[in-house]
């Protein structure tokens, strides 16, 4: 597995990471826990060193699974987790479901350290920007945790360029994590240029469009009750049918190179910048191998130009989130 550095932070990780959310959360019926622990360990054996989780996944149970799975490999892996949601009882929650007050950040860090079975959190992201707490206060709280040796690196998820700059001025950011793929390219407008300017790595989540870009989902696919795609505007049957051209493009390029559309989608991301590290998630061993193999695929300049030009002519149907949730992103 090739390695990449997340900007100027010095944090070196595998070119393809593993998004762990779906191992037991938000993707339908949770698989057998022992099997998912085995999958995470298989990823390590195949060269993956970068694993992503969050306290809200479960909540808490995903961190516990990841902590157990990776404990034997602790010196060989980088684990990223996230804070920022209000996980208190429903009648005591703050408006909006977010909470990045400094005291809550410290509480989240202590819990994540315990569940992940680590002495320090490698990369600690604010999961979503909390409009009720100045980003300078958030960065300052993480800076204190870094000084205490409880956190190694700071990151933001789904933050806008101005927020990134303000946070970075207080505590240097190692990475920005946001959705980014061939069917969601908004980060290219302001966020990726800011990352390049400031020397910050970029970690695309949902790099395969929550599975749509694999070509295995169409308008007839059904989602279980615990699968959040069932409530996303971009995953209505009509939207899935309308968005098929972006998959057809990937299929076309993949056929020419004798690889899968998912591998082309990941290779396209890797070709954007050397400090981009996608974190596709999967619960299947075959798909894990397929994703990892994408790191070795090289797209020619002509192929990249063809993909970009063709994609520019495709209008993607459906918002990626319902309106209320969309308003909490890219602040």
- What is the set of active-site residues? 57
- Say how far apart CA 56 and CA 62 lie, in whole Å: 8
- Say how far apart CA 148 and CA 120 lie, in whole Å: 9
Q: Could you give the residue ranges of the DSSP H alpha helices within the chain?
A: 33-45, 61-70, 102-116, 135-147, 161-170, 191-198, 237-242, 244-257, 261-272, 285-293, 301-312, 323-326
- Say how far apart CA 60 and CA 87 lie, in whole Å: 10
Q: Collapse the DSSP code of 152 into the 3-class scheme (helix H, G, I; strand E, B; otherwise coil) and give the result.
A: strand
Tokens (6 digits) for 215? 């070509």
Contacts of 6 (CB under 8 A, 6+ apart): 12, 13, 153, 174, 175, 200, 201, 203, 275, 277
- Say how far apart CA 273 and CA 288 lie, in whole Å: 23
Cα 76 to chain centroid, rounded: 20
């Amino acid at each position: 597995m090739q390695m990449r550095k997340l900007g100027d932070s010095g944090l070196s990780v595998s070119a393809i990471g593993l998004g762990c959310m779906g191992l037991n959360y938000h993707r339908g019926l949770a698989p057998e826990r022992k099997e998912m622990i085995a999958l995470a360990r298989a990823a390590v054996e195949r060269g993956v060193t970068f694993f992503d989780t969050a306290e809200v996944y479960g909540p808490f149970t995903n961190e516990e699974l990841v902590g157990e799975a990776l404990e034997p490999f602790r010196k060989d892996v980088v684990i990223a987790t996230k804070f920022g949601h209000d996980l208190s009882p429903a009648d005591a929650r703050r408006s909006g479901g977010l909470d990045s007050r400094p005291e809550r950040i410290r509480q989240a860090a202590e819990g994540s350290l315990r569940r992940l079975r680590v002495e320090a959190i490698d990369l600690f992201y604010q999961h979503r920007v909390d409009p009720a707490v100045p980003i300078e206060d958030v960065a300052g709280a993480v800076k204190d945790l870094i000084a205490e040796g409880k956190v190694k690196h700071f990151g933001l998820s789904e933050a806008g360029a101005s927020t990134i700059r303000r946070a970075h001025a207080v505590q240097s950011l190692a990475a920005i994590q946001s959705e980014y793929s061939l069917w969601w390219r908004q980060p290219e407008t302001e966020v990726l240029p800011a990352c390049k300017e400031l020397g910050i790595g970029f970690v695309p989540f949902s790099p395969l469009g929550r599975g749509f870009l694999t070509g295995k989902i169409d308008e007839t696919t059904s989602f279980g009750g615990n699968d959040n795609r069932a409530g996303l505007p971009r995953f209505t049957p009509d939207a899935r049918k309308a968005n098929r051209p972006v998959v057809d493009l990937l299929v076309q390029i993949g056929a020419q190179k004798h690889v899968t559309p998912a591998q082309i989608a990941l290779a396209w991301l890797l070709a954007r910048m050397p400090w981009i590290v996608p974190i596709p998630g999967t619960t299947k061993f075959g798909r894990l191998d397929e994703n990892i193999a994408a790191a070795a695929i090289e797209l020619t300049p002509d192929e990249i130009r063809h993909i970009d030009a063709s994609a520019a002519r495709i209008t993607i149907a459906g918002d990626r989130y319902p309106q209320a949730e969309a308003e909490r992103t890219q602040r």
